[in-house]
Amino acid sequence: MDFKKQLKEGLLTQNPVLVQLLGLCSSMAITTSLFNGLGMGIAVTVILTCSNVVISLLRKVIPAKIRIAAYIVIIAGFVTMIDLLLQAFLPPLSEALGVFIPLIVVNCIILGRAEAFASKNGVLASAIDGVTQGIGYTAALVAICVVRELLGNGTFGSGVISAEGARILPEPFPAMIMILPVGGFLTLGALIAFTQWLTKRIREKEENEA
């Protein structure tokens, strides 16, 4: 188990959104403000880590034929807990994320890590995998949110710094297209290209040092 390696995979080389292209539905729908992105990212990180730990603990008990169904039941339990906690303590976030919190149950990131990693590794490694993949997912959402909010609304930190966020661009300048779906896809494409470029540069540097 190499935490540094797993963190690098989560943030860059195996980033759930920018490399594996998983969970794009929610990534495009809710990334119009930093508040939404951070909230969704933290929720997914908690659910991913907890479900990884439980699935790793039960991996030798769950029959192979029903493993996917069992994983979904475990994930659904944690999603329900998070959904109820958000409704109780953070109603504005719960309202903003809406149906996308319950839809975490079928988020390919959660189920994919359960099948690819937690079902084959120990508890500690699975917990670290959940945390690092969650950090990578959150970082990708935050990056998309910052770009879309800044260019679309001209603000930064809406819902986090203040209700309206810090005004960066004068009101006449923001491009409203950036907070529409097309703006989300444009931002995602640019970030994917940047991630591929950065990964290539890091790989070349490592090869030169070897």
What letter represents residue 101's amino acid?
Answer: I
pLDDT for the residue numbered 112: 92
At 111-166, the pLDDT tens digits run: 999 999 999 999 999 999 999 999 999 999 999 999 999 999 999 998 888 888 89
Exposed, middle or buried: residue 48 (CB in 10 Å: 0-12, 13-18, 19+)? buried
At 105-118, the pLDDT tens digits run: 988 899 999 999 99
Q: What is the mean pLDDT of residues 183-191?
A: 95
Above pLDDT 70, what percent of the chain?
A: 99
Assessment of whether the complete model's pTM goes beyond 0.85:
yes
